[in-house]
Homo-oligomer: A and B are copies of this chain.
Amino acid sequence: MARKLVKKMNVALIGQAFMGRAHSNAYRQVGRFFDCGLEPVMHTIAARNAETLASFAAEQGWSAHTTRWQDIAEDGAIDFVDVATPNDSHRELSLAMLAAGKHVACEKPLAGTLKEAREMRDAAANAEGSQTFVWFNYRRAPAIGLAYKLLREGRLGRIYHVRASYLQSWGGPATPLSWRFQKNLAGSGAHGDLNAHIVDLARFLVGEEITEINGAIERTFIEERTQLGTNERKKCDVDDCTLFLASFAGGATASFEATRLAGGHLNDNTIEINGEGGSLRWNLENLNELWFFDASDAEREAGWRRIVATSADHHPYAAAWWPDGHICGYEHTFTNELADILRVLGDEQPVLPLPDFADAYETQRVLEAALVAARERCAIPLSAVL
């Protein structure tokens, strides 16, 4: 089968940490597995740590590297910029790249504060010719894709409940201080890091907006940590956990919980949706599986089904990878998202809708409203947070 004629697009990446590695992998892999019509060329990587940058660039396959992100903005050959830095720099970098006429894909959460996120949304709206994307990569697990399709087909009918939690365990008292525990760098703790993912997933799957926060808890259990590489004790000023209750426009209840203190849960992002027609459940540690309860099954035989979403014929993105039952891992979600980004930039339809800055801003509003609810100790209509 002949592949499409392929146009090339020069890509720059800012960031060389965990996300820098995960995104670099996606740029290398996407053309090997997907036939998108647009091929990313790994042009330049920018990052602050000059000591590690050259070898990171070589290892990951970037042609050039720089410690000045401005070089990217100024380089007319670069079409697309990927912002994979800590949250506090998302706004500045994204605005500069949009101003330079580039497409921008930004890591989640959109920003460290709602104000910054709003500026980013507005800048995106005004940036004619530029498109924006946000790396809410879990939308692209094939099992989530199947859940999305079942929901859009109405298989769950009226939605009653959404139950989402993102439980991790790495943030105990022995964990040293890093940027993720400092508000000026991270904006928040578990909330922005983890709730951002599950709020996005819930909005995406339900297909409605959240209209109210019905109550919230934001809590810091570990108030002091040792600075990495020193004996110095420092304050932690972000949440270890944030929980909140919410309501969707159509009346469904929702609960969200993010924590770094749930022993035994390494990366347990779990979402369940109950509706009149049945229920769906997914978790990230077994990301290839969707559990489905179909209320229209004969009562005698009804039960939760474990669907392994690896079928080339039936499950989104699965055809790109391996035969049925040969599972995908974490990083495939990025490659799947990149394939859709490339399709959109090449004027094709994505397999599933992509989040842009405007969409991610709605998630950020929910996160902000939850914090207001926690601090003011009352319910908050989303309309109060603009």
Contact = CB atoms under 8 A, between A and B. Distances in A.
B247 A217 contact: yes
Most buried by B among A310, A313, A323, A326: A326
Interface stretch (A70-78, A113-121, A160-168, A354-362): A160-168
Interface stretch (A86-94, A203-211, A224-232, A264-272): A264-272
Main secondary structure, interface of A, reads mixed
* Chain B CB within 10 A, most for which of A55, A276, A287: A276
Interface in A30-47: 31-32
A340 interface: no
A172 interface: yes
A265 B280 CA distance: 12
A129 interface: no
B22 A322 contact: yes
A300 interface: yes
A315 B266 CA distance: 14
A141 to B, nearest CB: 11
A81 interface: no
A262 B324 contact: no
A253 interface: yes
Oligomer copy total: 4
Interface string A247-263: 10001010101010111
29 contacts: A1-B55, A3-B55, A18-B323, A28-B28, A28-B32, A31-B59, A150-B301, A163-B165, A168-B325, A172-B276, A214-B217, A214-B377, A215-B216, A241-B253, A243-B245, A244-B245, A261-B274, A261-B276, A263-B293, A266-B324, A287-B327, A299-B311, A300-B315, A303-B308, A304-B305, A328-B329, A328-B330, A377-B378, A377-B379
Interface of A: 1-3, 18, 22, 24-25, 28-29, 31-32, 52, 55, 59-61, 146, 150, 158, 160-161, 163, 165, 167-168, 170, 172-173, 213-217, 219, 221, 240-241, 243-245, 247, 251, 253, 255, 257, 259, 261-268, 274-279, 284-288, 292-295, 297, 299-308, 310-311, 313-315, 321-332, 373-374, 377-379
